[in-house]
Structure 1
Amino acid sequence: MTETSAKRESGRADKSRDGNVVSRLFGALSLFVRQILDEMRKVVRPTGPELVRYTTVVVVFVMVMMAMVSGFDLGFSKLISWAFTGTVI
């Protein structure tokens, strides 16, 4: 750590102890909201066609996974039925 950054950090520590609890709370909340707004400005929102494409991909993927899990479930239930009863239902 450089001398400048060490002084800066010690200054912050001293500053955080100054003031009453309420002013520190509102200062912290204000900083939090400012940071949220700064991050929200960086967000890139999808266009309409991109949104439709992404939604379609997700829905198709979920349907494929549901079909796979249903197939495995049906197969395993038939296998277990055959193993315990000797007949496939």
Structure 2
Amino acid sequence: MNIALSPNHPLRTDPLKPWPYEVTVWYRKPGSRKLIHCRRLFVKARGTAAALRAGIRLAREQGSIPYDGKRVIPSRPTSARPFDLQDRIGIPA
């Protein structure tokens, strides 16, 4: 595993365990190829590849979003990382 995880992280012993991932998805204007906006989505998946697929699927289900007065559509996921044990979900920093 090339991801920096805690020494006692559950994914070190069972890499295919369902785990929450943070996926970065880039958005573009319709008819354009230029990526202009990114957004982080949170999914539960069994591995990085499955998290990327689930992230773009979730972004497409949510549809287009407003950005800078225009509607933008999801284009591609660029990264996915599993939550580590020190990551806090739903708690302000």
Asked if TM exceeds 0.5, the reply is no
TM-score (norm 2): 0.24
Report which of the two has the higher share of helix.
1
- Give the alignment's TM-score, normalised by structure 1: 0.25
